[in-house]
Copies of this chain bind each other. A is one copy, B any other.
Amino acid sequence: MFGEILREIVDQVPGAQAGVVMGADGILVENYLREGAGIEVQSAGVEFSSILGEVRRAAGQLDLGGVKDVVVLSDRRAILLKTINDEYFVALVLSPNGNHGRARFLLRMAVPRLRAEF
C-alpha cells in the first residue's frame, strides 16, 4: 500500500520525481520513482534520514517539540520530509520549480493513511 500512496502523490504533483517511505535509521521501506527521475534512492534515503536526525537533535536542544516537516530547497532539487511517526518518515523529491504547495498538501493528506499502515 505504501507504493500505491507514493505513486498517487508523485503522479499528482507537477515536477515530483520520487517518493520514498524510510526508516529514521536510513532503511528504505518503499519507493516510487517517476521515469527518468535520475535519483539513487538508497543513498538519497540515507542522507535524508541523516538530515532528519540532525534536525531532531537540534529541535531537542532548543525544546521545539516533535519535528513534523523539513523542507530543503537547493539549486537542483526540492526535498520534502514529513514524519509519519517516531520511526518512519516520507520523503518527496521535486524539481526546484515543481508545485511545492500541492506536494505539501498531498503529503499532509496522506500521513494518516501512511500511519495506518504501520
Contact = CB atoms under 8 A, between A and B. Distances in A.
Interface of A: 43-44, 47-48, 50-51, 54-55, 58-59, 61-77, 79
A72 B75 contact: no
- Majority secondary structure of chain A interface residues (helix, strand, loop or mixed): mixed
A79 B72 CA distance: 12
A14 to B, nearest CB: 19
A77 B50 contact: no
B72 A70 contact: yes
B76 A65 contact: yes
B51 A63 contact: no
30 contacts: A43-B62, A44-B62, A47-B58, A47-B61, A48-B58, A50-B54, A50-B58, A51-B54, A51-B55, A51-B58, A59-B74, A63-B76, A64-B72, A64-B74, A64-B76, A64-B79, A65-B74, A65-B75, A67-B72, A67-B73, A67-B74, A68-B73, A68-B74, A69-B71, A69-B72, A69-B73, A70-B70, A70-B71, A70-B72, A71-B71
